[in-house]
Amino acid sequence: MGMATSQLRLMYLHAYRLDLEYKMQLITEAKMNLSKTCTDLLNVGTDLDADDPMVKMLEARKERLNIMEKKLDMQMQHYQHKLQMINTEYDSCEKMLGENIKRSFQYGG
């Protein structure tokens, strides 16, 4: 790869890394909101009788929230894996760019 191509690749990888980190931050925020919602549901259900249909509805909602949290965890793992790949590629491109620069500025002699 030429120096210009390497530089462009580094810029692309950096932008992609920032995008993944932003998505991971959004997932973390969503998980915190889900946890708060689950806690709120549990607090509401403590006032009701165990046989009340409202308790069953609250439990069903809590279960759906838990499923959503698991999906978010899977998405987070996917993004973390992609981020590891991007970091490896970034390091490789940086090394290649450094070698290209070194080679370009060596004097024959």
Instruction: Say what the pTM is.
Output: 0.77
Q: Which DSSP state fits 1?
A: -
pLDDT of residue 82: 97
Q: Residue 19's closest CA among 86, 92, 106? A: 86
The amino acid at residue 10 is: L
A 10 A CB-CB count for 108 gives 3
The amino acid at residue 36 is: K
User: Mind listing the pLDDT tens digit of every residue in the chain (109 residues)?
Assistant: 577 888 899 999 999 999 999 999 999 999 999 888 888 877 776 777 778 788 788 888 888 988 999 999 999 999 999 999 999 999 999 998 888 888 878 765 4
Helix 53-104 to helix 3-45 angle (10° resolution) is 160
Tokens describing residue 30? 């969503």
How far is Cα 53 from Cα 21, in angstroms, rounded to an integer? 42
Overall residue count recorded for the chain in this entry: 109
